[in-house]
Amino acid sequence: MPVYAYKGLNDKGRNVAGVVDADTPKAARQKLRGQGVFPTGLAEETQTEGGSSRSVTQSSTDIRAYFERIKPQDLALLTRQLSTLVGAGLPLVDCLGALIEQVENAAEKRILSQVREHVVEGGNLADAMGMHPQVFNDLYVNMVRAGEASGALDIVLIRLADYTERAADLRAKVRSATTYPIVMGSISFSILLFLLSYVVPNITKIFQDTHQELPGITLVLLAVSDFTANYWWLIVISVVAAYLGLRAWVGTPKGRLKFDSLTLRIPYFGKVLKKVALARFARTLSTLLDGGIPLLQSLDIVKHVVNNTVLQNAIEDGRVSIREGHSVAEPLKASGQFPPLLVHMIAVGERSGELESMLARAADAYDNEVEASVNALSSIMAPVLVVFMGGIVAFMVIAILLPIFELNQVVG
Q: Which of 137, 135, 130, 69 is nearest to 105 (CA)?
A: 69
Is it the case that residue 212 has pLDDT exceeding 80? no
Q: How far is CA 248 from the centre of its chain?
A: 20
What residues does 54 pair with on adjacent strands? Answer: 46
Give me the pLDDT at residue 45, please: 61
Strands 37-47 and 15-21: unpaired
Among 147, 144, 110, 149, smallest CA distance to 129 is for 144
Does the reported pTM lie above 0.85? no
- What is the domain extent for residue 17? 1-67
Half-sphere exposure for 125 (CA within 13 Å, toward CB): 26
Contact 120, 82 (CB under 8 A): no
Residue 239 within a domain: yes
Judge whether 44 lies within some domain: yes
pLDDT at position 97? 87
**pLDDT higher than threshold 60 for residue 257:** yes
Report strand pairing: 3-10 vs 53-55.
unpaired
Residue 95 belongs to a domain: no
Beta bridge partners of 41: 7
pLDDT at 325 (0 to 100)? 86
- Give the residue from 163, 105, 70 showing the smallest Cα distance to 363: 163
Residue 135 lies in a domain: no
Name the domain boundary from 67, 90, 114: 67
Q: Are residues 189 and 319 in the same domain?
A: yes
Instruction: Dump pLDDT digits (tens) for 315-359.
Output: 999 999 998 888 889 899 998 889 998 999 999 998 888 898 999
Domain end position, chosen among 67, 82, 117: 67
- Judge if 58 and 182 occupy the same domain: no
Whether residues 180 and 59 share a domain: the answer is: no
Identify which has the larger pLDDT, 410 or 29: 29
Give CA–CA dist 53/48, Å, rounded: 6
Q: What proportion of the chain, given as a percentage, has pLDDT over 70?
A: 89
Burial of 243 (0-12, 13-18, 19+ CB in 10 A): exposed
Over residues 357-363, mean pLDDT: 90
Structurally, the chain folds into a number of domains equal to 2
Q: What's the pLDDT score for residue 256?
A: 92
Rounded mean pLDDT, 278-285:
89
Domain boundary among 67, 100, 117: 67
Helix axes 232-250, 216-230, angle to 10 degrees: 70
Q: What CATH number corresponds to the domain at position 396?
A: 1.20.81.30
